[in-house]
Amino acid sequence: MPEWQADAIIISVRPHGEGNSIVSLLTADYGRHAGLVRGGASKKMRGTVQPGNRVQASWRARLSEQLGQMQLELTQAVPARFLDSPMRLAGVASICALLEGALPEREPHAGLYAGTDALLSLIAMDDDNTGWLEGYVRWELGLLHAAGYQLDLDRCAASGETTNLAYVSPKSGAAVSQNHAGQFANRLLPLPRFLGGVACPAHDWVAGLDLTGHFLAKRVFAAHNADIPAARRRLADMVETRYKQAVDNQEAVR
Amino acid sequence: MHASLDQLIRKLARLPGLGPRSARRAVLYLLKNRDRLMVPLAQDLFDVASQVRACAECGNLDHGDKCSICLDPQRDHSCICVVEDVGDLWAMERAAVYRGVYHILGGTLSALDGRGPDDLHIDKLLRRADRLAATEVILALSATVDGQTTAHYIAERLAATSVEVTRLAHGVPVGGELDYLDDGTLAQALKARAKLVS
């Protein structure tokens, strides 16, 4: 009888019947894995089966291809620590929705699991509400890599230069230096400063989310004939609204 | 078994909390108490089905177009408590501590279930708050990711108005022991700590 036990992060919960839930988890060794949690919709379990929570999971089925049953024990209620922070809640919702939509089931992703775990810790620790956004953009680059699409942001696709990088080609995902962008600059995506860009016109986090959002939509979700999740769009909108205002204010002061 | 009896058992078995076995027991019990229970129950079911409807103002279930809460002049109509569904409204009323009016959203935003702002009664809430010249909107939504995301979304939409937006406190329940609380609840309780007035 196939079975396993592992530390996991809850990424989605769907009601099943009256009192049960189908819970999808991210684990290091078993990747995105779903299972039936009996009593998952009960009052006792409702706090445990929340997206973003860390749990100790044990899964068991008669045959490996079956959905199987899961038992979950709460290790840490992550989103409960920042229910009063809309941006951080939107971040966790986006992480869970992207993992649910982008990852194939039951493929091990040890690196992505470690990255997600670290990002959740960063979000939970960050009291100023926004410092984690850089980590979030890097995590989305990791998600793209895990889904099979790595961006080449270390050298210019045209000249091979490793300095003075400012843009990314929306087609190839390769960096382009400021000198070689020329007349195509307005068709390229700005490379944020924290990823090595030298001349980002927008706020770095807005540019970072635009960059990863473009490739997630084009390379990952379009391949599944799906749109980028609403939770990811909401996060990008919130960040843009907050930091576009900040950039506009700075320009007005200048 | 007669077809009508079998049909009744099948229909009862579809109710929450009942399965085929408990539906059979319920039907047998009803048949044994035909005059005392079965006929009055059938009459009550017919009355409720024909008379009870959703209130045009708040979404509560009651007789008539407007519910008794919305029609009550003793209630504070400038204070609106937003809840997810009728069950939550009934829970608030059981507590008998709130004297304002309610607004039922019909759920929470959920990216996974594809439920967006247009699927909830959010625009209706904004129009109602404006019409009633509301001074306070209390967001009594679940302490879950979806519930609080919905609360922040509504607060954002109301930010342009002069309405004060509040939410229910999160933390230690009455009768709760710290030893049995999860770390998230404790963190919320600590954040929302209040000064003791002696």
Q: Where are the domains of chain B?
A: 61-167
Residue B3 pLDDT level (bands cut at 50, 70, 90): confident
CATH architecture for residues B61-167: 3-Layer(aba) Sandwich (3.40)
Please tell me the predicted confidence (pLDDT) of residue A18: 81
A143 touches chain B (CB under 8 A): no
Residue A47 pLDDT level (bands cut at 50, 70, 90): confident
For range B81-101, the mean pLDDT = 95
| Domain locations along chain A | 3-77, 87-151+179-253
Please tell me the predicted confidence (pLDDT) of residue B165: 96
B148 touches chain A (CB under 8 A): yes
Contact A157, A112 (CB under 8 A): no
Contact B167, B139 (CB under 8 A): yes
Query: Has residue A144 got a pLDDT over 90?
Result: yes
Contact A203, A243 (CB under 8 A): yes
Nearest C-alpha in B relative to A51: B145
Interchain CB distance below 8 Å, B184 and A92:
no
- The answer to which of A220-224, A242-246, B81-85, B182-186 has the lowest mean pLDDT is A242-246
Interchain CB distance below 8 Å, B183 and A51:
no
Please tell me the predicted confidence (pLDDT) of residue A249: 60
Q: Which is more confident, B96 or B112?
A: B96
For range B177-189, the mean pLDDT = 85
What the block records as the tokens of B131 is 């019409």
Contact A247, A203 (CB under 8 A): yes
Query: Has residue A126 got a pLDDT over 60?
Result: yes
For range B188-196, the mean pLDDT = 87
Q: How far B194 CA sits from the closest chain A CA (Å)?
A: 16
Write the CA distances from A188 to A153, A174, A180, integer angstroms: 13, 10, 11
pLDDT in tens, A52-61: 999 999 999 9
Write the CA distances from B22 to A16, A133, B12, B14, B153, integer angstroms: 20, 53, 9, 11, 42
Residue B69 pLDDT level (bands cut at 50, 70, 90): very high
CA distance B156 to B134: 16
The ipTM (two decimal places) reads: 0.77
Please tell me the predicted confidence (pLDDT) of residue A246: 59
Give Cα B18 to chain centroid, integer Å. Answer: 22
A39: left (phi over 0), alpha (psi -120 to 50) or beta: left
For range A233-238, the mean pLDDT = 92
Query: Has residue A100 got a pLDDT over 80?
Result: yes
For range B172-190, the mean pLDDT = 85
Q: Which is more confident, B35 or A244?
A: B35
Please tell me the predicted confidence (pLDDT) of residue B59: 94
Pick the CATH number of A3-77 from 1.10.3720.10, 1.25.40.10, 2.60.120.560, 2.40.50.140: 2.40.50.140
Query: Has residue B198 got a pLDDT over 80?
Result: no
Please tell me the predicted confidence (pLDDT) of residue A197: 83
Residue A254 pLDDT level (bands cut at 50, 70, 90): low
Residues pairing with A54 in the sheet: A9, A76
For range A117-137, the mean pLDDT = 86
B114 touches chain A (CB under 8 A): yes
Domain A87-151+179-253 class, CATH top level: mainly alpha
**Contact list, A81 vs chain B (CB under 8 Å):** 183-184, 187-188
CA distance B123 to B155: 13
Query: Has residue A250 got a pLDDT over 60?
Result: no
Please tell me the predicted confidence (pLDDT) of residue A159: 82
Q: Which is more confident, B171 or B114?
A: B171
Interchain CB distance below 8 Å, A81 and B184:
yes
Please tell me the predicted confidence (pLDDT) of residue A204: 86
B166 touches chain A (CB under 8 A): no
CA distance B15 to B8: 11
For range B165-170, the mean pLDDT = 93
